[in-house]
A and B are shown apart, each in its own frame.
Chain A
Amino acid sequence: MPTHVTGRAAPFPLSNIDTDVIMPKRFLRTITREGLADGVLADLRFDTEGNENPDFVLHRPAFRGAEILVVGDNFGCGSSREHAVWGLKQLGIKAIIGTSFAGIFYDNARKNLLVLASISPSARDAVLQAIAEQPLDVAIDLDQKQVRWDDQSVPITIDQATQRALVEEREDVSDTLSLNAQIREFEAKRPNKLVVRVPK
């Protein structure tokens, strides 16, 4: 993917938004990765009859079609369900800006090239303030490791491996299988009493 992601940013600043809220369980009874866009934040976006909640941020005229979310602390906590990330991508979300993300969600996002930009709490508040005043495009520059809007820029905290994985779109399974000799060598040295053989 390109090193820059730019798009309309929408504020969704609640803390501890968990993956049960991001992708409710009724959307999980599936064997594919598809068809999950309607599940994203469904209990907040829709009423029990399936009608749009007009107050939900992505349904307000200024933010409809936003491609970037600016979120609260500890976003993506809870269940490991990768369906949450698949759904966000299918809804058209390209990047999420926040202060902290839960570990499994962070790794799931990386695998699916959903950019998670961690910035400081004060920087996040500044972005929130800017997008509250007027609809605004925000840019995430993975090369310079910055979030930018208007004439402002703030640094992103991102580890090198995740940055590279996002930019280079690495295929992890085949990359790892190229190391099969090392894996075989490691296995050959394992104590026999540690080699798990699950009874059928």
Chain B
Amino acid sequence: MTMPRTLYDKLVDSHKVCDLPDGEMLLYVDLHVMNEYTSPQAFSGLDEKGLPVWKPESHLAVVDHVNATRGRAAPDAASQLLIDNLGKNCAQHGIALYGLGDPRQGIEHVVVPEQGLVAPGMVIVCGDSHTTTYGAFGALGFGIGTSEVEHVLATQTLRYRRMKNMRVTVSGDLAPGVVAKDIIMKVVQVVGAGGANGFAVEFAGEAIRSQSITGRMTICNMAVELGARAALIAQDDVSHAAVKGPYVNPAEDWHSDPGAPFDRNVEINGAEIAPLVSWGTSPDQSVPVDALVPEPDATLPKAQESHGRALDYMGLIAGTPMTDIAIDRAFIGSCTNSRIEDLRQAAAILKDRKVADGVTAIVVPGSTMTRLAAEAEGLDVVFRDAGFDWRPEAGCSMCLAMNDDVAMDGERVASSTNRNFEGRQGRGARTHLMSPAMVAAAAVKGRIADVRAFVEHKDL
């Protein structure tokens, strides 16, 4: 009788080339995705060693991190160098590049599912921490550093250490107005920013199952914010229907066996999740939108210190209602929330409404194909009429502000992104994470706003 196994262990087992000393293994990589800023030193490492790329057809490169999204001209010479360098490396090694001007270009984790390059049972790696996104399809995706990018280019494998298994079950029905972004922000809040270090996390329960593939991608994407090295959702009809490409891995049923052992189980009642907004500088520092900026916990002196530091950076006073916090900018985009469904949810809030005076609002579709699909259904008009800047080029943009979309010192941003770190969106910039619909609501009110009020009272 075979032992019951988790989905994660099945994925690892099915990609093990051989055991290595000291409990490591060689793990086979089905698809490797690259961007322009974490790959250059990997290619130069190959060149120094005189090594070829092992299997060029199983790699994809995109330009997404540094490019401008107002137009195709690079923001500066250094960014142009990164873009040109990726083109040179891909040409030299025969690797597919979806660069600027290519109709398939966009944020890597939006492009890969859109182009049908992910299927259940795959292993996908990328020099980007949000590669956990592919768990939505029952594929093992995880981020790697540049040295490992070089390793996978040269060998199509990684030297790998098996993670522990954690299951996060979100049970029950979600309340009206609560979306996938709220689920994952709740999970990050409960488990903590480093609470899943060393774990692969499988998401289970009705509240997860009821999510579309887009919602599942949002959830798996941000699992890295709790430290998860991989995020997974078992294959089902939803993920099956979302597979667009020809790839099939028939080796297993891509779900955990009944009775499979998890090292840690976390249970969350989905019915108790409210729309969440981050108040601090770590993604686990969030509260329901109708709550107050929290007081530090006097029983935890260390947490108290980082709490105080976060309040200071964010320019907030404990006890302030979150909905009293005025914003300067609104940003909808990023690999977390820039897909067509995200844009529809935000547009539904913006229809027949206007962005508040003094708020600069931009929306950057996750890919060129996403933008064209949105324009085909008139979403661009809704955003433009409301006063949003509808960007013609796709990319990461103000999520990490590596291009020219940078928030100024002290500016406060309502953002559909994944990280509210100090300086993430610009030196001194203050990020509040929330769902795309909540960003739209905040843009209209000029302050953080409860999306539920917008849905219930259309004339608000």
Contact = CB atoms under 8 A, between A and B. Distances in A.
Interface in B289-347: 302-303, 305-306, 309
A85 interface: yes
A196 to B, nearest CB: 5
Nearest to B303: A15
Interface residues of A, number: 61
A111 B81 contact: no
Nearest to A111: B147
Interface stretch (B52-60, B174-182, B350-358, B376-384): B52-60
Contacts, number: 211
A173 B250 contact: no
B145 A111 contact: yes
Contact of B143 (A14, A48, A104): A104
Q: State the majority secondary structure of interface residues on A.
A: loop
B61 to A, nearest CB: 9
Interface string A95-110: 0000011111001100
Nearest to A15: B306
A135 to B, nearest CB: 23
B144 interface: yes
A6 interface: no
Given A31-B82, A173-B155, A77 B96 contact: no
B303 to A, nearest CB: 8
B270 interface: no
A20 B400 contact: yes
Interface stretch (B1-9, B18-26, B234-242, B437-445): B18-26
Nearest to A182: B18
Contacts of B26: 176, 179, 182-183
A7 to B, nearest CB: 24
Given A77-B193, A80-B143, A20 B246 contact: no
A43 B422 contact: yes
Contacts of A103: 163, 197-198, 227, 229
A198 B57 contact: yes
B49 interface: yes
B393 to A, nearest CB: 18
Interface in B39-90: 40-41, 44-45, 49, 51, 54-55, 57-60, 66, 76, 78-79, 81-82, 85
Contacts of A28: 37, 402
Interface string B229-264: 100000000000000001111110000000000000
Given A161-B23, A194-B247, A198-B60, A176 B159 contact: yes
Interface residues of B, number: 87
Given A21-B422, A161-B23, A31 B250 contact: no
A80 B129 contact: yes
A15 B302 CA distance: 9
Nearest to B199: A103
A79 B117 contact: no
A78 B147 contact: no
Contact of B194 (A74, A104, A196, A197): A74
Given A21-B423, A176-B26, A32 B194 contact: no
Contact of B79 (A29, A48, A183): A29
Given A20-B419, A82-B38, A159-B23, A108 B147 contact: yes
A82 B421 contact: no
B216 interface: no
Contacts of A25: 400-402
B194 A198 contact: no
Contact of A29 (B18, B37, B249): B37
B44 A183 contact: no
Interface string A14-46: 111010110011001111110000000001000
B427 A112 contact: no
B129 A73 contact: no
B362 interface: no
B250 A193 contact: yes
Contact of A78 (B157, B229, B421): B421
A85 B38 CA distance: 13
B136 interface: no
A20 B424 CA distance: 6
B144 A16 contact: no
B148 A16 contact: no
A102 B144 CA distance: 12
Nearest to B400: A25
Given A20-B419, A28-B402, A107 B144 contact: yes
15 contacts: A15-B282, A18-B282, A31-B82, A74-B227, A81-B37, A103-B227, A104-B145, A108-B145, A111-B147, A159-B23, A161-B20, A173-B151, A191-B250, A194-B122, A194-B247
Interface of A: 13-16, 18, 20-21, 24-25, 28-33, 43, 48, 72-74, 77-82, 85, 100-104, 107-108, 111-112, 159-161, 164, 172-174, 176-177, 179-180, 182-183, 186-187, 190-191, 193-200
Q: 5 closest pairs, A vs B, by CB?
A: A74-B194, A29-B78, A111-B147, A108-B145, A31-B40
Given A29-B79, A194-B249, 9 more contacts: A20-B400, A32-B41, A48-B427, A77-B193, A100-B197, A103-B163, A159-B23, A190-B28, A191-B250
Interface of B: 17-18, 20-24, 26, 28, 30-31, 37-38, 40-41, 44-45, 49, 51, 54-55, 57-60, 66, 76, 78-79, 81-82, 85, 95-97, 115, 117, 119, 121-122, 127-129, 143-148, 150-151, 154-157, 159, 161, 163, 193-194, 197-198, 225, 227, 229, 246-251, 282, 302-303, 305-306, 309, 400-402, 409, 419, 421-424, 427
